[in-house]
Amino acid sequence: MSETLREVFGEAAVAARVAELGREVSAHYAGAGEVVMVGVLKGALPFMADLLRALSFCPVLDFVRLASYGAGTSPGELRFPMDLETDIAGRHVLVVEDIVDTGRSLAYLLDRLAKRNPASLKVCALLDKAYRREVDVAVDFVGFAAPPVFLVGYGMDVGERLRRLRGVYELVR
């Protein structure tokens, strides 16, 4: 299957913004103690890896898996097939997302994590589609405001494809 892609945020722009986010996150957590960085699989993996290397501290790493798209391009049923292994009670938690769209899955995740009594709970997302929010959810650290198109690359996929791209692209249908 061949897709037409239009570059939205190129590799250099993404790398520069991730480095800036690393500085912002590092400044926020300076002197805060232990931080647990929670990546939302699968899409956040490249972003989380690059963000981790941009930090001035070494967080504990863990992952969750939320699934809401399946093979399509519009939100579907929310599933939570993988939970944390780390106890986050009393610890600072930074949730790392590739993109926040309607906010439904992120709100669900934050509610589940908040019940575990973390010292703090923040969100860092590479892309934010705030104009699409259906649920009021805050993103504390935002890489880019996302345009109103379906995005792929840098971890984001369509039908498990195109995650490997180093930039962010619009999938043109």
Catalytic residues: 101
- Nearest-5° angle of CA 69, CA 59, CA 44? 15
Please provide the DSSP assignment of 52-73 as one string. Answer: HHH-SS--EEEEEEEE--TTSS
Task: Name the 3-class secondary structure at 101.
Answer: coil
Prior bond of 42 cis (ω within 30°): yes
Side chain identity, residue 136: D
* CA–CA dist 131, 147 (Å, integer): 9
Q: What is the DSSP letter of 156?
A: B
Decide if 22 contacts 51 (C-beta within 8 A): yes
